[in-house]
Amino acid sequence: MGAAAELRKISRYGVIGQPVAHSLSPRIHALFAKAFGIDLSYEAIEIAPADLAARLQQLHADGYSGINVTLPHKAVVAALCEGVSERAQIAGAVNCLKRTDSGWIGDNTDGEGLVRDLARLGIAVAGQRVLLLGAGGAARGAIDPLLALHPKELVVSSRNPWKPEALAEQFKGRGPLRPCTHLALKGDHYDLIINATSAGHAGGMPRLPGPLLVEGGSCYDLSYGKAHAPFAAWAQQQSAAKTDDGLGMLVEQAAVSFEIWLGKSPDVEAVLAALRTR
């Protein structure tokens, strides 16, 4: 390639997943780049699990500078990285790949995205009683970042008693984490309730006992869009003083990826406003 063509070469980024066509990441990163006047491409790239290793090598050979990773690859992609950050190891998930000369370094920006979004919204965690609903991958990724904010107590609950139990075992010694079943929450009251279940994607909510939120308490959902509706309705029943969806976290985690790749901090509020007026 000649020098002129090299100069015109656009940095390539993308998000890999299956399905991935619905992803808002291409739009978010296009808005970030536009605000900085940076010329880059960011595509949604559908990859089947069986093809992941070969396609990642190909993306590297094709010169991609950074990749976001979404379902179903977040847990397995770590084994295909040259190195993985400590926070991604703890979360058990990689959602951001940064190129090296010979491969990819895996990181996780979801936890930092959650923490930044809670701060942006003025939702306190320090000294608060916090309930995390769900005990899958999304909940696992949220636990260490939440414990780092020093809640009075963090309760993780799900229908299945063994999943929260396993998480409590895994995060032993990292903070005041208590496993629970939804049913055993009866009579408890929390300052902040975070929904990390995937029930909203099927239009539902876990069955929960009685009132669980203190007066003036907040509800926060890791889901957004249609998947947020069932939790929003439940939060209203709980008379939540404040209920937020996970769109802010999505934009915040994207901003952390952008910083890792390009060393620039995007204006999250502006991009969030653009997405909400869509």
Residue 204 engages ligand ATR in binding (rule: CB under 6 A): yes
Closest approach, Cβ 203 to ligand ATR, in A, equals 9
Residue 78 engages ligand ATR in binding (rule: CB under 6 A): no
* Of 137 and 266, CB closest to ligand ATR: 137
Contacting range for ligand ATR; rule: CB under 6 A; set: 31-39, 53-61, 108-116, 155-163: 155-163
Active site residues: 74
Name which of 259, 263, 219 is nearest 241 in CA terms: 219
Taking phi first (over 0 means left), then psi (-120 to 50 degrees means alpha), and beta for anything else, what does residue 254 get? alpha
State which of residues 160, 236, 237, 239 lies at the interface with ligand ATR (CB under 6 A).
160
Closest approach, Cβ 15 to ligand ATR, in A, equals 16
Closest approach, Cβ 41 to ligand ATR, in A, equals 28
* Of 204 and 216, CB closest to ligand ATR: 204
State which of residues 197, 238, 243, 257 lies at the interface with ligand ATR (CB under 6 A).
197
Name which of 11, 7, 97 is nearest 47 in CA terms: 97
Are the C-beta atoms of 148 and 125 separated by less than 8 Å?
A: no
* Three-state secondary structure of 207-264: CCCCCCEEEEEEEEECCCHHHHHHHHHHHHHCCCCEEECCHHHHHHHHHHHHHHHHCC
Contacting range for ligand ATR; rule: CB under 6 A; set: 62-70, 123-131, 159-167, 168-176: 159-167
Residue 19 engages ligand ATR in binding (rule: CB under 6 A): no
Cβ-based neighbours of 116, under 8 Å, separated by 6 or more: 252, 255, 256, 268
Residue 137 engages ligand ATR in binding (rule: CB under 6 A): yes
State which of residues 60, 99, 129, 163 lies at the interface with ligand ATR (CB under 6 A).
163
Are the C-beta atoms of 208 and 158 separated by less than 8 Å?
A: no
* Three-state secondary structure of 171-193: CCCCCCEEEEECHHHCCCCEEEE
Q: Which residues bind ligand ATR (CB under 6 A)?
A: 134-139, 158-160, 163, 197-199, 202, 204, 206
